[in-house]
Amino acid sequence: MRIVVTGGAGFIGSHLCAKLLRHGHEVLCVDNLFTGSKRNIVPLLSNPYFEFIRHDITFPLYLEADAIYNLACPASPIHYQRDPVQTIKLGTSGMLNMLGLAKRLRIPILQASTSEVYGDPAIHPQREEYWGNVNPIGERACYDEGKRVAEALCFSYHRQIGVPIKVVRIFNTYGPCMALDDGRVISNFIVQALRGEPLTIYGAGTQTRSFCYVDDTVDALVRMMATGPQVTGPINVGNPVEVTVKRLAEMVLDALNLPHRFEERPLPHDDPTRRCPDITKARTVLGWEPTTDFAHGLRRTIGHFQEILHAQAPRGN
């Protein structure tokens, strides 16, 4: 198949491109490099079935393909708050452009939504039927509400026009190809630890997250695309094992055999206190659940950041 991956030079997108190529598909990687990086796709550029297209999907895209994975959107607060208007555009005009392309070509489109559609949830774990608790005018709204609008557009195009859609809600994902300035908790902790800095804990560190290794997340996306037209989602994709932010910090330091040093700061506004997916639908519909041991995934992620920092280190004469 000829498959479009928007956001294909990003963290998850680059892993998805690589997996699709291994499955024998032709891949069109579309990215404007706002948060994506050519570094992530360098190993793919020599593959004759891979093509990189630098493009912003808030502008129309004209090409031929058999399926679309839409991952084009900055996913960490430090990135999506840098340009909140552009973030909202990706969820609205960007989504409209990609749905329009799917409509014209009569092909399925998978929208990479997010656990942020649940906001600061009042129920735990979060099930797909939960409508969420989102501040529509807060600093995170550009991302949270942008993704919620994107989901609404997907289902409107499906109901009114019959566009085949697949919606997945991705929870915290980690692994190689994360950026140094990613701004998410696991990358922040690893980079601070490798630089010999105290780890920044917001609040008391009692807020929880659940972490899914990127290979597992990508496997779920591919499985979702392979389902029949009757499967639209949304389906949660994530690890159902909760860990507190403080415990995560301790695990990172322990993996590097470093002393526990922390710096506490006030909790950011609208930061969710608990986040954990109910993956019953993923298990029953996709036959999927995460299989990567966290300690193994953490070691591989640490190795990725060690390589980046080593490459950036000044060289002697």
Query: What residues act catalytically?
Result: 143
Phi (first) and psi of residue 207, to 5 degrees: -65, 145
Q: In whole angstroms, give the CA distance from residue 72 to residue 87.
A: 10
Q: In whole angstroms, give the CA distance from residue 208 to residue 293.
A: 18
Q: In whole angstroms, give the CA distance from residue 298 to residue 251.
A: 9
Q: In whole angstroms, give the CA distance from residue 180 to residue 77.
A: 14
Q: Report helix, strand or coil for 236.
A: strand
Q: Which of 231, 230, 233, 247 is nearest to 294 (CA)?
A: 247
Question: In this structure, are residues 202 and 188 in contact, taking their beta carbons and an 8 Å threshold?
Answer: no
Those residues whose C-beta lies under 8 Å from the C-beta of residue 293, and which sit 6 or more positions away, are none
Ramachandran category for residue 172: left, alpha or beta (phi over 0 → left; psi -120 to 50 → alpha):
beta
Q: In whole angstroms, give the CA distance from residue 221 to residue 267.
A: 32
Q: Return the exposure string of 277-312: e unless at least 16 CB atoms fall within 10 Å of the residue's CB, then b.
A: bbbebbeeebebbbebebeebbeebbebbeebeeee
Token pair belonging to 268? 């950011």
Helical spans, DSSP H, in 91-166: 95-105, 141-161
Bridge partner list, 114: 170
Q: Which of 5, 18, 12 is nearest to 214 (CA)?
A: 12
